[in-house]
């Protein structure tokens, strides 16, 4: 087994995030290889050193400046529908309208076939007759 392969997995090995087969392989390699055991010890020391670092508390001046900046920002009002849903809402409304028209239809006393036919003609164009003639075979 290569040293590089084991050393790339030392952090995951120490935290127990490797699959069982890889855990056993790394453990077996560590028992046989003093170089990789040394690398594991260095990794553990580095991790402990980083964990021991103390993060300094922010100063009052810094907090005051940040809060003043936050308070100066305009207030955004959230829309009732997220922006990423706008196309979906439009499609849903259009589908609902089409469904209602398809299900209930258009009342016959308000619209006649002649009105529909006339509305389809370009303006300024006169037809000779709106009757459809059927000549059988």
Give the whole-angstrom CA distance, residue 83 versus residue 56: 40
Give residue limits of the domains in the chain. 3-52, 83-120
Residues 26/9, Cβ–Cβ less than 8 Å? yes
Q: What is the pLDDT of residues 60-69, one digit of tens each?
A: 999 999 999 9
pLDDT in tens, 43-81: 889 888 888 887 888 899 999 999 999 999 888 776 666
78-85 long-range contacts (CB < 8 A, ≥24 apart) are: none
Average pLDDT along the chain: 78
């Amino acid at each position: 087994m290569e040293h590089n392969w084991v050393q790339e997995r030392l952090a995951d090995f120490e935290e127990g995030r490797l699959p069982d087969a890889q855990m056993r392989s790394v453990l077996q390699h560590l028992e046989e290889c003093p170089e990789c055991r040394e690398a594991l010890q260095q990794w553990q020391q580095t991790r402990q050193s980083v964990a021991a670092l103390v993060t300094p508390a922010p100063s009052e001046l810094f907090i005051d400046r940040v809060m003043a900046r936050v308070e100066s920002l305009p207030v955004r009002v959230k829309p009732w529908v997220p922006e990423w849903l706008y196309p979906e809402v439009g499609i849903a409304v259009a589908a609902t309208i089409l469904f209602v028209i398809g299900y209930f239809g258009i009342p016959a006393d308000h619209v006649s076939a002649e009105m529909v036919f006339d509305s389809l003609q370009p303006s300024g164009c006169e037809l000779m007759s709106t009757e459809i003639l059927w000549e059988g075979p």
